[in-house]
Amino acid sequence: MGLQQTHRGFVVALCAFLYSSLPVSSNLVVLVKNAVSVDSDHAITLPCWLNPSQSAENLEVRWYLGKNFDDPIMLYRAKKMEVTPYQGRVEFGLKDATSGGLKTGDVSLKLLSATLKDEGDYTCYVSSDQGYDTGIVKLTVTKMGAPPILSVVWKDNVANVSCASEGWHPEPRLRWSDQKKDLTPGGLQHSVDSSGLQSVHSWILVSDSSEVSCSVGLSDEGAKEARLLPVPPQKKEPGSSAGGGWVAFGILILLIAVLASLGLLYFRKRALFLGKTDKPGSDEENQKLLLKDVVQPTDLSTCITHYVNVTLEETGSPHLIIKDGKLRDKGGQYTEGQKVTCLTAIKGTPGFSSGQHYWEVSLENPSVGLKKSWWVGVTSAAIILPESDIPLTASNGFWFLSSSPDKEGSLQISTEPNVSLHVSSRPQIVGVFLNYDSGELSFYNVKDKRLIASVTASFRGEVFPFFNPGIGDKAPMEILQKSVLDLSSDMTNSVDET
Ligand SMILES: *[C@@H]1O[C@H](CO)[C@@H](O)[C@H](O)[C@H]1NC(C)=O
Protein backbone atom coordinates (compact mmCIF):
# COMPACT_ATOMS: atom_id res chain seq x y z
CA MET A 1 0.00 0.00 0.00
CA GLY A 2 2.79 2.37 0.96
CA LEU A 3 4.22 2.06 -2.49
CA GLN A 4 0.94 2.75 -4.15
CA GLN A 5 0.44 5.82 -1.98
CA THR A 6 3.86 7.11 -2.91
CA HIS A 7 3.09 6.55 -6.51
CA ARG A 8 -0.21 8.34 -6.32
CA GLY A 9 1.59 11.27 -4.78
CA PHE A 10 4.07 11.24 -7.60
CA VAL A 11 1.35 11.20 -10.22
CA VAL A 12 -0.46 14.02 -8.50
CA ALA A 13 2.69 16.11 -8.48
CA LEU A 14 3.41 15.31 -12.10
CA CYS A 15 -0.12 16.08 -13.25
CA ALA A 16 -0.22 19.24 -11.24
CA PHE A 17 2.90 20.32 -13.00
CA LEU A 18 1.76 19.35 -16.51
CA TYR A 19 -1.92 20.09 -16.40
CA SER A 20 -2.24 22.40 -13.46
CA SER A 21 -5.93 21.77 -12.69
CA LEU A 22 -6.87 18.27 -14.03
CA PRO A 23 -8.20 15.90 -11.37
CA VAL A 24 -6.43 12.53 -11.06
CA SER A 25 -8.15 9.30 -12.25
CA SER A 26 -11.18 11.12 -13.41
CA ASN A 27 -11.51 9.31 -16.71
CA LEU A 28 -9.85 5.92 -16.18
CA VAL A 29 -11.87 3.38 -14.29
CA VAL A 30 -10.49 -0.13 -13.94
CA LEU A 31 -12.78 -3.05 -13.08
CA VAL A 32 -11.60 -6.51 -12.09
CA LYS A 33 -12.90 -9.88 -11.08
CA ASN A 34 -11.86 -9.97 -7.42
CA ALA A 35 -10.97 -13.62 -7.05
CA VAL A 36 -10.08 -16.40 -9.44
CA SER A 37 -8.95 -19.93 -8.82
CA VAL A 38 -7.08 -22.38 -11.02
CA ASP A 39 -5.89 -25.98 -10.81
CA SER A 40 -2.12 -26.09 -10.71
CA ASP A 41 -0.40 -26.47 -14.10
CA HIS A 42 -3.36 -24.93 -15.90
CA ALA A 43 -3.72 -21.55 -17.60
CA ILE A 44 -5.74 -18.81 -15.95
CA THR A 45 -6.92 -15.37 -16.97
CA LEU A 46 -7.08 -12.61 -14.38
CA PRO A 47 -9.85 -10.37 -15.74
CA CYS A 48 -9.29 -6.61 -15.74
CA TRP A 49 -10.85 -4.04 -18.05
CA LEU A 50 -11.59 -0.37 -18.52
CA ASN A 51 -15.03 1.00 -17.90
CA PRO A 52 -16.44 2.59 -19.95
CA SER A 53 -14.77 0.66 -22.73
CA GLN A 54 -11.94 2.52 -24.46
CA SER A 55 -8.80 1.43 -26.22
CA ALA A 56 -5.86 0.65 -23.97
CA GLU A 57 -3.38 0.48 -26.85
CA ASN A 58 -1.84 3.82 -25.98
CA LEU A 59 -1.91 3.35 -22.23
CA GLU A 60 0.52 1.84 -19.79
CA VAL A 61 -0.67 -1.52 -18.45
CA ARG A 62 1.24 -2.92 -15.54
CA TRP A 63 0.51 -6.15 -13.65
CA TYR A 64 2.39 -6.83 -10.44
CA LEU A 65 2.20 -9.29 -7.58
CA GLY A 66 1.86 -8.10 -3.99
CA LYS A 67 3.62 -4.79 -3.56
CA ASN A 68 6.22 -5.28 -6.26
CA PHE A 69 5.22 -2.30 -8.37
CA ASP A 70 8.75 -1.92 -9.65
CA ASP A 71 9.16 -5.60 -10.55
CA PRO A 72 6.12 -6.15 -12.69
CA ILE A 73 5.04 -9.47 -14.05
CA MET A 74 3.91 -7.86 -17.26
CA LEU A 75 4.51 -4.31 -18.44
CA TYR A 76 3.07 -2.81 -21.59
CA ARG A 77 3.93 0.76 -22.41
CA ALA A 78 4.62 2.89 -25.43
CA LYS A 79 2.76 0.20 -27.41
CA LYS A 80 5.38 -2.39 -26.53
CA MET A 81 5.61 -5.33 -24.19
CA GLU A 82 8.66 -4.92 -21.97
CA VAL A 83 10.81 -7.83 -20.86
CA THR A 84 10.11 -9.19 -17.39
CA PRO A 85 11.23 -12.36 -15.62
CA TYR A 86 7.78 -13.76 -16.43
CA GLN A 87 8.29 -13.46 -20.17
CA GLY A 88 6.88 -16.52 -21.91
CA ARG A 89 4.61 -17.30 -18.99
CA VAL A 90 2.30 -14.30 -19.32
CA GLU A 91 0.40 -12.52 -22.07
CA PHE A 92 -2.72 -10.41 -22.52
CA GLY A 93 -5.80 -12.54 -22.12
CA LEU A 94 -9.48 -12.06 -22.82
CA LYS A 95 -11.86 -11.55 -19.93
CA ASP A 96 -14.57 -13.43 -21.82
CA ALA A 97 -15.20 -14.96 -25.24
CA THR A 98 -16.75 -11.81 -26.68
CA SER A 99 -13.98 -9.47 -25.58
CA GLY A 100 -12.31 -7.36 -28.24
CA GLY A 101 -8.99 -7.36 -26.37
CA LEU A 102 -6.73 -4.38 -25.82
CA LYS A 103 -8.61 -2.27 -28.41
CA THR A 104 -11.71 -2.38 -26.25
CA GLY A 105 -9.89 -1.87 -22.97
CA ASP A 106 -9.56 -5.50 -21.94
CA VAL A 107 -6.17 -5.64 -20.21
CA SER A 108 -6.62 -9.05 -18.57
CA LEU A 109 -3.51 -11.03 -17.66
CA LYS A 110 -3.18 -14.59 -18.83
CA LEU A 111 -0.86 -16.81 -16.81
CA LEU A 112 -0.03 -19.81 -18.96
CA SER A 113 0.73 -22.40 -16.32
CA ALA A 114 0.00 -21.66 -12.69
CA THR A 115 2.06 -23.11 -9.87
CA LEU A 116 1.47 -22.94 -6.13
CA LYS A 117 4.06 -20.17 -5.92
CA ASP A 118 1.92 -17.97 -8.15
CA GLU A 119 -0.73 -17.51 -5.50
CA GLY A 120 -1.32 -14.00 -4.30
CA ASP A 121 -2.85 -10.61 -4.95
CA TYR A 122 -2.27 -9.26 -8.44
CA THR A 123 -2.65 -5.57 -9.14
CA CYS A 124 -3.86 -4.47 -12.52
CA TYR A 125 -2.63 -0.90 -13.01
CA VAL A 126 -3.62 1.16 -16.01
CA SER A 127 -2.21 4.61 -16.53
CA SER A 128 -2.60 7.36 -19.09
CA ASP A 129 -1.05 10.78 -19.10
CA GLN A 130 -4.21 11.98 -17.40
CA GLY A 131 -4.40 9.57 -14.51
CA TYR A 132 -4.48 5.95 -13.50
CA ASP A 133 -6.58 3.39 -11.73
CA THR A 134 -5.94 -0.05 -10.22
CA GLY A 135 -7.81 -3.17 -9.30
CA ILE A 136 -6.73 -6.24 -7.34
CA VAL A 137 -7.35 -9.85 -8.36
CA LYS A 138 -6.75 -12.58 -5.80
CA LEU A 139 -5.41 -15.78 -7.37
CA THR A 140 -5.80 -19.12 -5.62
CA VAL A 141 -4.02 -22.16 -7.04
CA THR A 142 -5.57 -25.46 -6.12
CA LYS A 143 -4.21 -28.97 -6.27
CA MET A 144 -6.25 -32.12 -5.87
CA GLY A 145 -4.71 -34.61 -3.51
CA ALA A 146 -4.73 -38.37 -3.45
CA PRO A 147 -7.79 -40.42 -2.49
CA PRO A 148 -7.92 -41.06 1.26
CA ILE A 149 -6.23 -44.17 2.59
CA LEU A 150 -8.00 -45.98 5.38
CA SER A 151 -6.57 -48.28 7.98
CA VAL A 152 -8.02 -49.94 11.04
CA VAL A 153 -6.68 -51.07 14.40
CA TRP A 154 -8.89 -53.08 16.75
CA LYS A 155 -9.11 -53.21 20.50
CA ASP A 156 -11.91 -54.83 22.46
CA ASN A 157 -14.29 -54.76 19.53
CA VAL A 158 -13.72 -51.07 19.01
CA ALA A 159 -12.18 -50.07 15.71
CA ASN A 160 -9.83 -47.13 15.51
CA VAL A 161 -10.25 -46.14 11.86
CA SER A 162 -7.66 -43.75 10.43
CA CYS A 163 -8.03 -41.74 7.29
CA ALA A 164 -5.10 -40.02 5.60
CA SER A 165 -4.76 -38.08 2.40
CA GLU A 166 -1.92 -36.02 0.97
CA GLY A 167 -1.02 -33.69 -1.85
CA TRP A 168 -3.68 -30.98 -1.45
CA HIS A 169 -3.63 -27.22 -1.78
CA PRO A 170 -5.00 -25.19 -0.12
CA GLU A 171 -5.89 -26.94 3.12
CA PRO A 172 -8.48 -29.64 2.42
CA ARG A 173 -11.51 -30.35 4.56
CA LEU A 174 -11.93 -33.82 6.00
CA ARG A 175 -15.36 -35.08 6.91
CA TRP A 176 -16.41 -38.30 8.62
CA SER A 177 -19.94 -39.56 8.31
CA ASP A 178 -22.06 -42.63 8.65
CA GLN A 179 -25.06 -43.13 6.40
CA LYS A 180 -27.10 -40.58 8.35
CA LYS A 181 -24.98 -37.84 9.81
CA ASP A 182 -21.58 -36.26 10.20
CA LEU A 183 -19.37 -37.79 12.88
CA THR A 184 -16.93 -36.00 15.14
CA PRO A 185 -13.38 -37.28 14.72
CA GLY A 186 -11.24 -38.33 17.68
CA GLY A 187 -8.30 -36.48 16.19
CA LEU A 188 -7.61 -34.28 13.18
CA GLN A 189 -4.25 -33.02 12.01
CA HIS A 190 -3.16 -30.93 9.10
CA SER A 191 0.41 -30.63 7.93
CA VAL A 192 2.30 -28.95 5.12
CA ASP A 193 5.31 -30.39 3.32
CA SER A 194 8.26 -28.45 1.94
CA SER A 195 6.62 -27.99 -1.46
CA GLY A 196 3.59 -26.35 0.14
CA LEU A 197 1.26 -29.32 -0.27
CA GLN A 198 -1.13 -30.14 2.53
CA SER A 199 -1.83 -33.47 4.17
CA VAL A 200 -4.59 -34.38 6.52
CA HIS A 201 -4.87 -37.24 8.98
CA SER A 202 -7.78 -38.10 11.20
CA TRP A 203 -9.01 -41.00 13.31
CA ILE A 204 -12.32 -42.01 14.75
CA LEU A 205 -13.51 -44.80 17.05
CA VAL A 206 -16.26 -47.03 15.72
CA SER A 207 -17.83 -49.45 18.15
CA ASP A 208 -20.60 -51.04 16.12
CA SER A 209 -20.31 -52.49 12.64
CA SER A 210 -21.61 -49.52 10.80
CA GLU A 211 -20.23 -48.15 7.60
CA VAL A 212 -18.13 -45.04 7.96
CA SER A 213 -17.09 -42.69 5.25
CA CYS A 214 -14.12 -40.34 5.13
CA SER A 215 -14.19 -37.67 2.49
CA VAL A 216 -11.44 -35.18 1.78
CA GLY A 217 -11.75 -32.27 -0.58
CA LEU A 218 -11.36 -28.57 -1.23
CA SER A 219 -15.08 -28.26 -1.77
CA ASP A 220 -17.91 -30.75 -1.55
CA GLU A 221 -18.00 -31.29 -5.30
CA GLY A 222 -14.45 -32.46 -5.83
CA ALA A 223 -14.23 -34.43 -2.60
CA LYS A 224 -12.64 -37.85 -2.68
CA GLU A 225 -14.35 -40.35 -0.50
CA ALA A 226 -13.47 -43.74 0.93
CA ARG A 227 -15.87 -45.89 2.87
CA LEU A 228 -15.50 -49.01 4.86
CA LEU A 229 -17.39 -51.27 7.12
CA PRO A 230 -15.12 -52.47 9.91
CA VAL A 231 -16.21 -55.89 11.10
CA PRO A 232 -14.88 -56.77 14.55
CA PRO A 233 -13.44 -60.16 15.40
CA GLN A 234 -16.33 -62.31 16.63
CA LYS A 235 -14.45 -63.72 19.55
CA LYS A 236 -12.81 -61.45 22.01
CA GLU A 237 -9.06 -61.66 21.73
CA PRO A 238 -7.90 -63.17 25.02
CA GLY A 239 -5.54 -60.77 26.71
CA SER A 240 -5.79 -58.10 24.06
CA SER A 241 -6.95 -55.58 26.61
CA ALA A 242 -4.44 -56.67 29.21
CA GLY A 243 -1.43 -55.28 27.37
CA GLY A 244 -2.94 -51.82 27.30
CA GLY A 245 -2.86 -49.70 24.21
CA TRP A 246 -4.09 -50.63 20.81
CA VAL A 247 -2.98 -53.84 19.23
CA ALA A 248 -2.87 -54.23 15.50
CA PHE A 249 -4.00 -57.81 15.66
CA GLY A 250 -6.69 -58.59 13.19
CA ILE A 251 -7.95 -56.41 10.46
CA LEU A 252 -11.10 -57.47 8.80
CA ILE A 253 -12.57 -54.88 6.59
CA LEU A 254 -15.39 -55.22 4.23
CA LEU A 255 -14.78 -52.61 1.65
CA ILE A 256 -18.04 -51.28 0.51
CA ALA A 257 -17.47 -48.59 -1.99
CA VAL A 258 -15.44 -45.66 -3.06
CA LEU A 259 -16.62 -42.59 -4.78
CA ALA A 260 -13.89 -41.41 -7.02
CA SER A 261 -13.33 -37.71 -7.46
CA LEU A 262 -15.83 -35.78 -9.54
CA GLY A 263 -18.37 -38.55 -9.08
CA LEU A 264 -17.40 -40.06 -12.42
CA LEU A 265 -16.87 -43.53 -11.19
CA TYR A 266 -18.66 -45.49 -8.63
CA PHE A 267 -16.90 -48.65 -7.67
CA ARG A 268 -18.66 -51.39 -5.89
CA LYS A 269 -16.02 -53.80 -4.83
CA ARG A 270 -15.85 -56.12 -1.96
CA ALA A 271 -12.75 -57.40 -0.38
CA LEU A 272 -11.87 -59.21 2.76
CA PHE A 273 -8.70 -58.34 4.53
CA LEU A 274 -7.16 -60.31 7.28
CA GLY A 275 -4.19 -58.70 8.91
CA LYS A 276 -2.05 -60.60 11.31
CA THR A 277 -1.08 -60.04 14.87
CA ASP A 278 2.24 -60.54 16.42
CA LYS A 279 0.39 -62.56 19.03
CA PRO A 280 0.32 -66.28 18.59
CA GLY A 281 -3.08 -67.88 18.66
CA SER A 282 -5.00 -65.16 16.92
CA ASP A 283 -4.86 -66.85 13.53
CA GLU A 284 -7.58 -69.32 14.32
CA GLU A 285 -9.92 -66.60 15.45
CA ASN A 286 -9.31 -64.53 12.38
CA GLN A 287 -9.73 -67.46 10.05
CA LYS A 288 -13.21 -68.00 11.44
CA LEU A 289 -14.37 -64.56 10.50
CA LEU A 290 -16.60 -65.07 7.60
CA LEU A 291 -18.97 -62.89 5.75
CA LYS A 292 -21.63 -64.49 3.70
CA ASP A 293 -20.56 -63.26 0.30
CA VAL A 294 -16.86 -63.28 0.90
CA VAL A 295 -14.68 -66.21 -0.07
CA GLN A 296 -12.97 -68.01 2.79
CA PRO A 297 -9.21 -67.69 2.32
CA THR A 298 -7.64 -71.01 1.36
CA ASP A 299 -5.27 -72.81 3.73
CA LEU A 300 -1.63 -72.38 2.83
CA SER A 301 -1.15 -76.16 2.85
CA THR A 302 -3.85 -76.47 0.19
CA CYS A 303 -2.37 -73.61 -1.85
CA ILE A 304 0.98 -75.38 -2.06
CA THR A 305 -0.63 -78.30 -3.91
CA HIS A 306 -1.31 -75.86 -6.75
CA TYR A 307 2.32 -74.73 -7.10
CA VAL A 308 3.24 -73.45 -10.52
CA ASN A 309 6.70 -72.42 -11.68
CA VAL A 310 6.34 -68.90 -12.96
CA THR A 311 8.90 -67.46 -15.35
CA LEU A 312 9.45 -63.78 -16.02
CA GLU A 313 8.41 -62.39 -19.35
CA GLU A 314 11.31 -61.43 -21.63
CA THR A 315 10.73 -57.75 -22.21
CA GLY A 316 14.27 -56.55 -22.74
CA SER A 317 13.50 -53.75 -20.27
CA PRO A 318 16.39 -51.31 -19.98
CA HIS A 319 15.53 -50.79 -16.31
CA LEU A 320 15.69 -54.36 -15.07
CA ILE A 321 18.30 -56.99 -14.54
CA ILE A 322 16.80 -60.47 -14.84
CA LYS A 323 18.81 -63.61 -14.27
CA ASP A 324 17.72 -67.12 -13.29
CA GLY A 325 14.36 -65.97 -11.96
CA LYS A 326 16.03 -63.17 -9.98
CA LEU A 327 14.98 -59.66 -10.64
CA ARG A 328 16.14 -56.22 -9.61
CA ASP A 329 16.30 -52.69 -10.98
CA LYS A 330 19.39 -51.42 -12.76
CA GLY A 331 19.83 -48.75 -10.14
CA GLY A 332 20.61 -45.10 -10.37
CA GLN A 333 19.31 -42.77 -13.03
CA TYR A 334 15.57 -42.33 -12.40
CA THR A 335 14.01 -38.96 -12.59
CA GLU A 336 11.02 -39.30 -10.30
CA GLY A 337 12.82 -39.79 -7.03
CA GLN A 338 12.30 -43.11 -5.39
CA LYS A 339 8.71 -43.55 -6.45
CA VAL A 340 8.08 -47.04 -7.77
CA THR A 341 6.38 -46.98 -11.16
CA CYS A 342 5.58 -49.32 -14.02
CA LEU A 343 9.06 -48.67 -15.44
CA THR A 344 10.26 -51.58 -13.34
CA ALA A 345 7.06 -53.67 -13.40
CA ILE A 346 7.02 -56.98 -15.19
CA LYS A 347 4.63 -59.83 -15.91
CA GLY A 348 5.22 -63.52 -15.47
CA THR A 349 4.04 -66.49 -17.49
CA PRO A 350 1.95 -68.56 -17.76
CA GLY A 351 -1.26 -66.55 -17.66
CA PHE A 352 -4.39 -68.06 -16.15
CA SER A 353 -8.01 -67.98 -17.15
CA SER A 354 -9.34 -70.67 -14.83
CA GLY A 355 -8.32 -72.92 -11.96
CA GLN A 356 -6.15 -72.55 -8.87
CA HIS A 357 -2.52 -71.51 -8.92
CA TYR A 358 0.12 -70.70 -6.34
CA TRP A 359 3.63 -69.30 -6.54
CA GLU A 360 6.20 -67.89 -4.16
CA VAL A 361 8.50 -64.89 -4.27
CA SER A 362 11.57 -64.60 -2.08
CA LEU A 363 12.39 -61.10 -0.86
CA GLU A 364 15.44 -61.84 1.21
CA ASN A 365 19.05 -62.10 0.34
CA PRO A 366 21.71 -63.25 2.81
CA SER A 367 24.20 -60.59 1.75
CA VAL A 368 21.96 -57.56 1.12
CA GLY A 369 19.17 -58.21 3.59
CA LEU A 370 15.43 -57.97 3.33
CA LYS A 371 13.79 -56.27 0.38
CA LYS A 372 11.79 -53.19 1.32
CA SER A 373 10.41 -51.98 -1.96
CA TRP A 374 8.29 -54.38 -4.00
CA TRP A 375 4.96 -55.23 -5.63
CA VAL A 376 3.68 -58.78 -5.88
CA GLY A 377 0.33 -59.78 -7.34
CA VAL A 378 -1.53 -60.36 -10.58
CA THR A 379 -2.62 -58.27 -13.52
CA SER A 380 -5.05 -58.67 -16.37
CA ALA A 381 -3.28 -55.98 -18.42
CA ALA A 382 -2.10 -57.34 -21.77
CA ILE A 383 0.91 -55.04 -21.86
CA ILE A 384 2.33 -52.96 -19.05
CA LEU A 385 3.01 -49.51 -20.32
CA PRO A 386 6.05 -48.05 -18.59
CA GLU A 387 4.66 -44.54 -18.52
CA SER A 388 0.95 -44.71 -18.20
CA ASP A 389 -1.38 -42.40 -16.31
CA ILE A 390 -3.81 -45.20 -15.50
CA PRO A 391 -3.93 -45.75 -11.76
CA LEU A 392 -2.75 -49.24 -10.87
CA THR A 393 -5.90 -50.27 -9.11
CA ALA A 394 -8.17 -53.27 -9.05
CA SER A 395 -10.69 -51.66 -11.36
CA ASN A 396 -7.93 -51.26 -13.97
CA GLY A 397 -6.83 -54.87 -13.67
CA PHE A 398 -4.04 -54.67 -11.07
CA TRP A 399 -4.28 -56.55 -7.80
CA PHE A 400 -1.12 -56.50 -5.77
CA LEU A 401 0.43 -56.22 -2.38
CA SER A 402 3.17 -53.62 -2.03
CA SER A 403 5.83 -52.58 0.41
CA SER A 404 7.53 -49.17 0.50
CA PRO A 405 10.80 -48.37 2.22
CA ASP A 406 9.21 -45.41 4.02
CA LYS A 407 6.29 -47.38 5.43
CA GLU A 408 7.76 -49.62 8.09
CA GLY A 409 5.20 -51.89 9.70
CA SER A 410 2.62 -51.77 6.95
CA LEU A 411 1.89 -53.22 3.55
CA GLN A 412 -0.51 -51.70 1.04
CA ILE A 413 -3.01 -53.37 -1.18
CA SER A 414 -4.11 -51.93 -4.53
CA THR A 415 -7.82 -51.75 -3.90
CA GLU A 416 -9.89 -48.58 -3.96
CA PRO A 417 -9.32 -47.14 -1.50
CA ASN A 418 -5.84 -48.41 -0.78
CA VAL A 419 -5.83 -50.21 2.51
CA SER A 420 -2.79 -50.44 4.76
CA LEU A 421 -2.27 -53.67 6.61
CA HIS A 422 -0.33 -53.61 9.80
CA VAL A 423 2.40 -56.22 9.93
CA SER A 424 4.94 -56.91 12.62
CA SER A 425 7.70 -57.29 10.04
CA ARG A 426 8.12 -57.38 6.27
CA PRO A 427 7.72 -60.90 4.88
CA GLN A 428 10.77 -62.86 3.64
CA ILE A 429 8.77 -65.00 1.26
CA VAL A 430 5.38 -64.03 -0.11
CA GLY A 431 3.05 -66.75 -1.39
CA VAL A 432 0.42 -65.75 -3.93
CA PHE A 433 -2.65 -67.91 -4.37
CA LEU A 434 -5.09 -67.29 -7.19
CA ASN A 435 -8.40 -69.10 -7.44
CA TYR A 436 -9.62 -67.68 -10.71
CA ASP A 437 -13.02 -69.32 -10.57
CA SER A 438 -14.02 -68.22 -7.07
CA GLY A 439 -12.28 -64.85 -7.42
CA GLU A 440 -9.94 -65.37 -4.51
CA LEU A 441 -6.51 -63.79 -4.40
CA SER A 442 -4.65 -64.46 -1.16
CA PHE A 443 -1.19 -63.42 0.00
CA TYR A 444 0.75 -65.36 2.61
CA ASN A 445 3.81 -64.83 4.71
CA VAL A 446 5.29 -68.23 3.88
CA LYS A 447 7.95 -68.35 6.62
CA ASP A 448 5.37 -67.61 9.33
CA LYS A 449 2.69 -69.66 7.54
CA ARG A 450 0.28 -66.79 7.91
CA LEU A 451 -2.24 -65.15 5.72
CA ILE A 452 -1.40 -61.50 5.05
CA ALA A 453 -4.50 -60.51 3.10
CA SER A 454 -7.19 -61.98 0.97
CA VAL A 455 -9.10 -60.09 -1.67
CA THR A 456 -12.11 -61.13 -3.65
CA ALA A 457 -12.38 -59.95 -7.20
CA SER A 458 -14.13 -60.99 -10.36
CA PHE A 459 -11.41 -61.75 -12.86
CA ARG A 460 -12.01 -61.42 -16.55
CA GLY A 461 -9.76 -62.57 -19.38
CA GLU A 462 -6.29 -63.90 -18.80
CA VAL A 463 -4.59 -62.96 -15.52
CA PHE A 464 -0.78 -62.97 -15.19
CA PRO A 465 1.59 -63.00 -12.25
CA PHE A 466 2.82 -59.45 -11.69
CA PHE A 467 6.05 -58.27 -10.07
CA ASN A 468 8.00 -55.12 -9.39
CA PRO A 469 11.41 -55.13 -7.69
CA GLY A 470 11.09 -51.44 -6.83
CA ILE A 471 13.65 -48.76 -7.31
CA GLY A 472 16.96 -48.35 -5.58
CA ASP A 473 16.50 -51.53 -3.55
CA LYS A 474 19.64 -53.60 -3.86
CA ALA A 475 18.03 -56.84 -2.71
CA PRO A 476 16.76 -58.94 -5.60
CA MET A 477 13.33 -60.49 -5.84
CA GLU A 478 13.38 -64.16 -6.70
CA ILE A 479 10.56 -66.18 -8.21
CA LEU A 480 11.01 -69.53 -6.48
CA GLN A 481 11.07 -72.58 -8.68
CA LYS A 482 10.11 -75.85 -7.09
CA SER A 483 10.45 -79.43 -8.17
CA VAL A 484 7.92 -82.12 -7.30
CA LEU A 485 10.33 -83.28 -4.60
CA ASP A 486 10.47 -79.85 -2.84
CA LEU A 487 6.73 -79.68 -2.86
CA SER A 488 6.18 -83.01 -1.16
CA SER A 489 8.56 -82.00 1.62
CA ASP A 490 6.85 -78.60 1.99
CA MET A 491 3.56 -80.36 2.39
CA THR A 492 4.93 -82.74 5.00
CA ASN A 493 6.25 -79.76 6.94
CA SER A 494 3.00 -77.93 6.95
CA VAL A 495 1.11 -81.04 8.01
CA ASP A 496 3.59 -81.50 10.86
CA GLU A 497 3.04 -78.03 12.16
CA THR A 498 -0.72 -78.09 12.24
C1 LIG B 1 -6.17 -44.12 16.86
O2 LIG B 1 -5.10 -44.22 15.93
C3 LIG B 1 -4.33 -43.02 15.75
C4 LIG B 1 -3.27 -43.31 14.73
O5 LIG B 1 -3.82 -43.48 13.46
C6 LIG B 1 -3.71 -42.58 17.06
O7 LIG B 1 -2.99 -41.38 16.87
C8 LIG B 1 -4.81 -42.39 18.09
O9 LIG B 1 -4.23 -42.05 19.33
C10 LIG B 1 -5.63 -43.67 18.22
N11 LIG B 1 -6.72 -43.45 19.14
C12 LIG B 1 -6.82 -44.05 20.33
C13 LIG B 1 -8.01 -43.71 21.17
O14 LIG B 1 -5.98 -44.83 20.71
Distance CA 121, CA 413 (A): 43
| Same-domain pairing of 444 and 313 | yes
Q: Which of 160, 163, 241 to mutate to test the pocket of ligand 1 (most atoms within 8 A of CB)?
A: 160
Boundary of a domain, candidates 142, 168, 189: 142
| Same-domain pairing of 425 and 368 | yes
Give the pLDDT band of residue 246 (cuts 50, 70, 90).
very low
C-alpha pair distances (Å), 483 with each of 170, 307, 308, 320, 347:
57, 9, 10, 27, 22
* Nearest CA owner, ligand 1 atom 10: 160
| Same-domain pairing of 165 and 206 | yes
Q: Does 160 contact ligand 1 (Cβ within 6 A)? A: yes
Give the pLDDT band of residue 29 (cuts 50, 70, 90).
very high
Boundary of a domain, candidates 204, 228, 252: 228
> What CA dihedral angle connects 213, 279, 300 and 344, to 10 degrees?
60
Q: Does 186 contact ligand 1 (Cβ within 6 A)? A: yes
* Nearest CA owner, ligand 1 atom 11: 160
| Same-domain pairing of 431 and 309 | yes
Boundary of a domain, candidates 107, 142, 177: 142
Q: How far is the CA of 448 from the centre of ligand 1 (A)?
A: 28
| Same-domain pairing of 116 and 174 | no
| Mean pLDDT along residues 241-265 | 31
Whether the per-residue pLDDT at 387 is higher than 80: the answer is: no
Q: How far is the CA of 191 from the centre of ligand 1 (A)?
A: 17
pLDDT of residue 174: 96
Q: Considering the domain boundaries, does residue 246 fall inside one?
A: no
Neighbours of 489 (CB within 10 A): 10
Give the pLDDT band of residue 46 (cuts 50, 70, 90).
very high
pLDDT of residue 225: 80
Q: Which of 246, 420, 422 to mutate to test the pocket of ligand 1 (most atoms within 8 A of CB)?
A: 246
Range(s) of the domain holding residue 112 = 26-142
Indicate whether this model's pTM tops 0.75.
Answer: no
Whether the per-residue pLDDT at 302 is higher than 60: the answer is: yes
| Same-domain pairing of 48 and 110 | yes
Q: Does 162 contact ligand 1 (Cβ within 6 A)? A: yes
| Same-domain pairing of 293 and 437 | yes
Position with higher pLDDT, 77 vs 227 = 77
For 172-220, the pLDDT digits (tens) are 999 999 878 999 999 999 999 988 899 999 999 988 767 788 899 998 7
| Same-domain pairing of 295 and 357 | yes
For 329-371, the pLDDT digits (tens) are 887 554 445 677 888 889 999 999 999 999 999 998 888 888 9
Distance CA 400, CA 414 (A): 6
Mean pLDDT check: name the lowest of 203-207, 292-296, 413-417, 465-469.
292-296
Atom of ligand 1 nearest to the CA of 201: 5
Within 32-166, where are the H helices?
none
Distance CA 125, CA 66 (A): 12
Share of the chain above pLDDT 70, in %: 75
Distance CA 108, CA 361 (A): 60
Distance CA 432, CA 300 (A): 10
Q: How far is the CA of 153 from the centre of ligand 1 (A)?
A: 9
Whether the per-residue pLDDT at 418 is higher than 50: the answer is: yes
Atom of ligand 1 nearest to the CA of 246: 14
* Identity of the amino acid at 296: Q
Handedness of CA 400, 403, 406, 407 (dihedral sign): positive
Half-sphere exposure in the Cβ direction for 100 (13 Å, CA): 9
For the chain, the domain total comes to: 3
Give the pLDDT band of residue 81 (cuts 50, 70, 90).
very high
φ/ψ of 367, rounded to 5, equals -90, -35
| Same-domain pairing of 176 and 125 | no
| Mean pLDDT along residues 224-253 | 46
Distance CA 120, CA 74 (A): 15
